[in-house]
Amino acid sequence: MAPDLGNTQKWMQAVILHPGSDRQAVASAEARKIVPPSRFPGLIRPSRTLDSFDRIGIYRGMYLARLQEALEADFPGLAHFLGPKRFSDLVRGYVDRYPSGSYTLNRLGDRLPEFIRSSPGMVRKDFLYELARFELLMSRLFDAEESPVLTPEAIAEVPPECWETARLKPVAALSVQELRYPVGAYLEAVRQGKPRPATRRKNHWAVVYRSQYALRWLDLSRPAYRLLKALVNGVPLGEALSGVLRRGGQPVGEVQLFSWFRGWVTEGLFQAVELEDTA
Amino acid sequence: MGRNRWDLPDLGFGIGLRTVHYSYILANHPPIDWFEILSENYMDTGGRPLYVLDQVAERYPVVLHGVSMSVGSTDPLNLGYLKKLKALADRTRAHWVSDHLCWTGVSGINVHDLLPMPYTDESLRYTIERVKAVSEILERPLVLENPSTYLEFGTSTWSEVEFLSTLAQEADCGILLDVNNVYVSCFNHGLDPEAFIDRVPADRVVQYHLAGHTHKGTHILDTHSDHVIDEVWSLYRRSCQRTGGVATLLEWDENIPSFEVVHAEALKARRHRGLPEPDHQRAYGT
């Protein structure tokens, strides 16, 4: 009996997603429980030039090629580091484990960092995990909501006595990151076609953000990271400053603090000053 | 005034809005009749794509064209997707919303391809109801495109054109007639493309697609990677004689050349419709 519409679609999808050869896919357990391989040539008509395997093979080939192209666009650093063969192998393993469930390819790579972290035997796994996580973050910030940007006029309107308890609201497209590898520098080198930089472990801190619709990042010192992280988490300004000043290490002077704030405001990292009674 | 069932307008000769042309379009406001927008590229972003889209929609007529509605799938309709699609259509004041006569996945998976339907009575009945439901949600008629296909099901009892025509009549939807896809599918299946063109109900055609393709010898792939070939132009002329003036769109998605080159390719359609060619040099100052 011929498969109905639902079973035809389940069968065809099972064949397309199967990682083996065209013949293995048609003979796979999932496919054969719907359409026995002996009935395959009757279900998919041969053409003048292609047999039934060739014809279903076109869809199978395009499936992986399309997903690989999408992931390469979102993870150019990862693709560059691994090279074509290893990246292709990674994509095959990833989409076998996590086929797309979204109407948009923009979400295809959402679980790629976790897939890398959980893959046994992957060389340079820690670096690749952080690189993938960083590139995924860039994709998300690219699509984040656009926010208004805090203006000097709005800052000037804040009464001086209110700054202690004021909160600085960050723009939506912003993330403060503690990193173990120089993934930003690596990505920048790939984009600019420069020689591959060292990828040894090096703890550092950065803020990644979108400004005027372009993605950027700023390297931060550790105290600057702590302060910005606290502000982004909604800690009032006075408390956030005290937290930084209380910490050990190099003392942070007033001039340094003003320099950070000026830089962050100029870069458009904040959208508003929220005063205590309006926060 | 259009001659189609809904009197949807002949928007003229447009191209697909593509990322590589964003800066050029914003800086130069080129003299193009309209743009087609790939819906899914703008449904979940608040970044530059949406900013560019708003700028474009402010200045030019736009039409939404999707690839993930999966109207032929036996999975339930994705209501979240349709809600976002309607919101985008409202935001851009899109003249119409189109997708493909295909399915893209089942069991919650998206293969991200325009997979062929078996052309059976069961498929037809099912798809008619789905198209009606989508049109109701979108509060506008859905326009469906004939996809390029690379296989035929032995279970099919309808030809593609008969299936599409009956679907359009019964579900009251429009047709986006992709002339290149007619050529590609007919080559791949050993069918007569002129017979296909002649059997499309003219009053349902609200838009044309034109594109180049890649000939692999044994089959043709719909790659949108080159100029339109003469045989496709010939089919376009043949169809226009039946439909009259219908909005025409040139697609170019691989190895995309400059905006001027893509637009010039779209404007060739004017000549094939018997209209005077515009002064391209004056338009672009070249």
Angle at B284 between CA B280 and CA B286, to 5 degrees: 90
B189, B218 contact by CB (below 8 A): no
Residue A5: list chain B partners with CB under 8 A: 74, 117-118, 120, 122-123, 126
Please state, in angstroms and rounded to a whole number, the distance separating the CA atoms of residues A269 and A188: 21
Q: What is the ipTM of this complex?
A: 0.95
Domain CATH code at residue B231? 3.20.20.150
Residues of A in contact with B223 (CB under 8 A): none
Q: Is residue B281 part of a domain?
A: no
Distances (CA, A) of B3 to A212, B188, B203, B266: 44, 32, 6, 22
Residues of A in contact with B117 (CB under 8 A): 5
Show the CA angle centred on residue B196, arms to residues B228 and B115, nearest 5°: 75
Percent of chain A with pLDDT over 70: 97
What's the one-letter identity of residue A263? G
Nearest alpha-carbon partner for B187 in B217, B220, B213, B158: B220
Partner residue opposite B154 with nearest CB, options A43, A59, A210: A43
pLDDT at B1: 40
Task: State whether B112 and A9 contact (CB < 8 Å).
Answer: no
CB B132 within 8 A of CB A123: no
* Average pLDDT of the segment spanning A167-193: 96
User: Would you state the structure tokens that stand for residue A174, as one six-digit string?
Assistant: 């912003």
| Topology of domain A146-274, CATH | Outer Surface Protein A; domain 3 (3.90.930)
pLDDT at A279 over 60: no
Alpha carbon distance B198, A28 (integer Å): 42
Q: How much is the average pLDDT of A166-194?
A: 96
Decide if B283 is inside a domain.
no
Domain residues for the domain of B170 are 13-275
What is the count of residue pairs from A and B with beta carbons less than 8 Å apart?
127
Nearest-Cα residue of chain B relative to residue A70: B112
The answer to whether residue B31 is domain-embedded is yes
In a domain, B127, yes or no: yes
Residues of B in contact with A144 (CB under 8 A): 46-47
The rounded percent of chain A whose pLDDT value lies above 90 is 90
Cβ of A144 and B46 within 8 Å?
A: yes
Closest-CA distance, A58 to chain B, in angstroms, reads 7
Find residue B38's DSSP bridge partners. B65
* Residue A251, amino acid: P
Domain count, chain B: 1
- Provide the β-strand partners of residue B209: B178, B249
CB contact under 8 A, A63 and B112: yes
Compute the distance between CA of residue A122 and CA of residue A126 in angstroms, rounded to an integer. 9
Average pLDDT of chain A? 94
Read off the pLDDT of residues A234-277 as tens digits, 9 standing for 90 and up: 999 999 998 887 766 667 788 888 899 999 999 999 999 999 86
Residues of B with CB under 8 A from a CB of A: 40, 43-48, 50-51, 68, 70, 73-74, 78, 81, 103, 105-113, 115, 117-118, 120, 122-123, 126, 150-155, 188-190, 217-219, 221
Whether B219 and A144 lie within 8 Å, measured CB to CB: no
In chain A, domain spans = 1-67, 75-143, 146-274
Kind and range of the H or E run holding A185: helix A183-192
**In chain B, which residue's Cα lies nearest the Cα of A140?**
B45
* pLDDT string in tens for chain B (286-residue length): 447 999 999 999 999 999 999 999 999 999 999 999 999 999 999 999 999 999 999 999 999 999 999 999 999 999 999 999 999 999 999 999 999 999 999 999 999 999 999 999 999 999 999 999 999 999 999 999 999 999 999 999 999 999 999 999 999 999 999 999 999 999 999 999 999 999 999 999 999 999 999 999 999 999 999 999 999 999 999 999 999 999 999 999 999 999 999 999 999 999 999 998 776 655 665 4
Closest Cβ–Cβ partner in B103, B153, B190 for A47: B190
Inter-residue contact A205 to A224 (CB < 8 Å): yes
